[in-house]
Amino acid sequence: MFTPDPHPRPLGKSDILVSPLAWGMWRFTGEVAPARVLVEAALEAGITLFDTADIYGADTPAGFGSAEALFGQVLAEAPSLRDAMVIATKGGIRPGNPYRSDAGYLAEAVDASLGRMGIERIDLYQIHRRDFLTHPQEVATSLTRMVEQGKVRGIGVSNHSPAEVDALQAFLDLPILSTQPEFSPLHPQPLFDGVLDQAMTRGMAVLGWSPLGGGRLSGGDHPATLLLRDHGQRFDVDAATAALSWSMAHPAGVIPIVGSQNADRIRAAAGALRVSWTHAEWYAVLQAGMGATLP
């Protein structure tokens, strides 16, 4: 049987302890009071890892940087919340570019993120996507400088292939602490493209985004959803919560990023920690998600 480990664990090769679930802010918008309710709901669920990005909110009227800014307003209203959190953000995507990771850009981006959130140091700063026009050595130098200046505690990557991780790590003396791929039964590519294997080999944390397949695993009649619903009923949880636990069963210790902007749903995510899987049950969901039988 495979049951998620409920205890805090190191974030990759660091002394930063994080929860087995994370909460993401890619749809974090609105007023401060309801936003604070969501943040506190995550903490009530035992979530200490909060993941955002400077690009989050760019598709809303509030615009680029607005998710970080709203988070900063919550922290300004309740400063004591900061001590209970590990704050992760990302930089490197800019509307119209689309990717920027040159030294000048990243130096401005990290300062802007710190300013919007009103914090002195970011716990985990991640390159959001690979900038093909910037040499990994330049990116490595920028990340190292952030850490040396005390602006960033640790570094990670998002949406990077294993080869891209290797290229960046080759120019770093610091370890890349985490990688953030999309991962769910409907997007199982990290099982096959080497992302999870590399994470286990290097001791990197895996932060899985969109663990509900863009919401498709929380309802509807997809075969994988139906299996998750039936499995979850045995543990008194719904299909969405069972989907979180499915990701967590992998030996890479995947930390699913809960994306809900509903306080009750955020609190319910903690139920994933009590869901167990056998080999047969886990593989049945994988094959249903793939729509194919494994050889």
Going by the DSSP 8-state scheme, the letter that residue 175 receives in this structure is: P
What secondary structure does DSSP assign to 131-174, as a single string?
A: -TTS-HHHHHHHHHHHHHTTSEEEEEEES--HHHHHHHHTT-SS
71-77 contacts: CB < 8 A, separation 24 or more? 71/25, 71/28, 71/35, 71/39, 71/116, 71/117, 72/116, 72/117, 72/118, 72/119, 73/32, 73/35, 74/32, 74/35, 74/36, 74/39, 75/117, 75/118, 75/119, 76/118, 77/32, 77/36
Side-chain half-sphere of 91: how many Cα atoms within 13 Å?
A: 26
- Residue 56 is among the residues annotated as catalytic for this protein: yes
Task: Name the active-site residue from 56, 99, 125, 283.
Answer: 56
Q: Give Cβ neighbours of residue 204 (< 8 Å, ≥ 6 apart).
A: 12, 13, 156, 165, 175, 176, 177, 178, 179, 198
CA distance 174 to 194: 22
Enter the DSSP assignment of 262: -
| Bridge-based pairing state of the strands 86-91 and 49-51 | parallel
Q: 110, 102, 100: which is closest to 147 by C-alpha?
A: 110
Amino acid identity of residue 195, one-letter, is V
Residues with active-site annotation: 56
